[in-house]
Amino acid sequence: MANPKTDPLPFVVFNEIGIIEQLARTRFERVLPDGLKVSHFSVLNHFVRLGGTRSPAELARAFQVTKGAMTNTIQRLEARGLVTVRPDPRDGRGKLVEITPAGRQVREQCVAALGPLLAEVDAAFPREEFARTLPFLQALRAHLDRARDKAPASD
C-alpha cells in the first residue's frame, strides 16, 4: 500500500487508480454477458467511441499490448461475429478490423449490465464530485497518452 505521508503524491494517486481499476474490473467481469472479458469489451468500446477501422497493430498500440495479445482478442471477437477482419486495400499483407452491428449491440448489453454497479456508485457520491474529478482524470489520461509515443516500444 502506498504511504501518503512519504510517497510522492503522483505515486499515491496512481496507486489509488490501480486499486480502483482492479476492483472495478473484477466487478465488471462478473456481470459481462456470455463469457466476455474486459479486454473484449474494451475493444468494442474503443470502436464505439472512435468509430472507423483499425489495423491490429494500431489496436495493439492503443491498448499497449503485444500484437499477439491483440490478435488473440480480435480472433475471439471475430469468432463471435462482433468484429470483422478484412484485407487492407492499401497494404496487401495488412488487415483492417471493424465492429459489427452485433458488436455494437453486445457493447450496449455490457454497459446495461453495469447498471446496478453504476447506480450504486452514483448513489454513494454527489454528482458534483464526479464532475469535479473528471477534468483532472481526462487531462492525466491525455498527458499519459501523449507521453507513451515517446516511450520505447515493448515488442
pTM of this structure: 0.81
Confidence band of 154 (pLDDT split at 50, 70, 90): low
Report the C-alpha gap between 36 and 32 in whole angstroms: 6
For 96-135, b/e burial (b = at least 16 CB within 10 A) is: bbebbeebeebbeebeebbeeeeeeeeeeeeeeeeeeeee
Confidence band of 15 (pLDDT split at 50, 70, 90): very high
- Residue 152's pLDDT is 57
Residues 40, 78: contact at Cβ < 8 Å? no
Nearest CA to 102 among 36, 27, 25?
Answer: 36
Report the C-alpha gap between 107 and 61 in whole angstroms: 21
Report the C-alpha gap between 2 and 152 in whole angstroms: 27
Which helix (H) or strand (E) segment holds residue 92: the answer is strand 91-99
Q: Is the pLDDT of residue 58 over 70?
A: yes
- Residue 78's pLDDT is 98
pLDDT digits (tens, 9 = 90+) for 64-114: 999 999 999 999 999 999 999 999 998 888 999 999 999 999 999 999 999
- Residue 108's pLDDT is 95
- Residue 99's pLDDT is 98
C-alpha dist (Å) from residue 99 to 5, 13, 16, 23, 31: 46, 34, 33, 28, 22
Confidence band of 145 (pLDDT split at 50, 70, 90): confident
pLDDT digits (tens, 9 = 90+) for 18-32: 999 999 999 999 999
High-pLDDT (> 90) share of the chain, %: 84
